[in-house]
Amino acid sequence: MHKEFQDAAAGFPDPFRLLVRETAASTNDELRTLAEGGAPDGLVLLALQQTAGRGRRGATWFSPPGESLAFSILLKPSEPKALWPRLALATGLAVAEAAESFGPAAGIKWPNDVWIGRRKLAGILVEAGKDYAIVGIGMNVNSSAFPPEVAEIATSLRIETALDHPRHEVLAAIIHSFARRCREIGADFDHMLDCVRQRCVLTGHRVSLSTSSGPRQGVIEGIAPGGELLLRTESGLDRLIQADEVRILE
């Protein structure tokens, strides 16, 4: 399995390079340690088995060995740090585009999930350090079943296509798309955002969500030019920079 991933990595665009670990607790945490030790821009850390993967708010990420992809990418963006949160949307778009190259149409659930239909295919966790960002990606590739607590809300490429997919090929497709999209968080953000809007699964739906000021409900009108979520409530139109537990009500 190492060789297949290394062979795929030989075709990665610069500056992306692959480091494979048999096991890792959290690829984000392990890559942060490497970053603090001076690891270069573009290092991709892939765990064949991730034992303590997490999503936002510390939620556990289901990652059975041999079925999914669990990896993190180290970036040292030249854009101002204020723009780095846009990396979540750039990554979601890259993962959606990669998924579509294997068959199914994919949507983006702002700001950091990729869906097929109403089920989650992949999750993204972006964390910033002093002079670097770490982009963590977990994607269900060949899973055929999920634990009861997520069985109704999760899916995989295998479930959607009735085919097994070589994980190294899926990884390569993500990295190639990501290499292009991660450079668009600055001057080219308008173009990238148009592509995100086309795939936004929340637009037009009534949702409930949690914000730093408490729970909210409203209708999503789209994504603002800066990447914020536009929530129409009885009191007006809000631009949300961050929200948790976004649930579609209708």
86-132 pLDDT tens trace: 999 999 999 999 999 998 999 999 988 999 999 999 999 999 999 99
Do 244 and 159 share a domain, yes or no?
no
As a whole number, mean pLDDT of residues 20-32 equals 93
| Claim to verify: residue 116 and residue 182 sit in the same structural domain | yes
Percent of the chain with pLDDT over 70: 95
**What is the pLDDT at residue 65?**
73
Residues 127 and 88 in one domain: yes
| Mean of per-residue pLDDT scores for the chain | 92
Mean pLDDT, rounded, for 182-211: 96
Q: Are residues 193 and 213 in the same domain?
A: no
DSSP state of 188: T
Contact 161, 103 (CB under 8 A): yes
- 49 versus 169: the higher-pLDDT residue is 169
10: left (phi over 0), alpha (psi -120 to 50) or beta: alpha
Please give the Cα distance from 227 to 159 (Å, whole number). 31
The mean pLDDT of 130-143, rounded to a whole number, is 96
pTM, 2 dp: 0.94
Average pLDDT over residues 231-243: 93
If you average pLDDT over residues 134-145, what whole number do you get? 95
Give the DSSP letter of residue 91.
H
Confidence of residue 211 (pLDDT cuts 50, 70, 90): confident
Percentage with pLDDT > 90 across the chain: 81
Q: Are residues 95 and 142 in the same domain?
A: yes
Residue 250 has pLDDT above 90, yes or no: no
Residues 210 and 159 in one domain: no
Q: What is the mean pLDDT of residues 48-67?
A: 68
CATH of the domain at 216: 2.30.30.100
Q: What is the pLDDT of residues 35-57, one digit of tens each?
A: 999 999 999 999 998 877 655 55
Q: Are residues 230 and 167 in the same domain?
A: no
Average pLDDT over residues 52-68: 65
Domain range for 81 is 2-199
Res. 238: pLDDT tops 90: yes
Alpha-carbon torsion, ordered 231, 59, 85, 19, to 10 deg: -150
pLDDT of residue 151: 85
Q: Are residues 227 and 173 in the same domain?
A: no
pLDDT at 111 (0 to 100):
87
Chain Cα centroid distance, residue 207: 21
CB 89 within 8 A of CB 227: yes
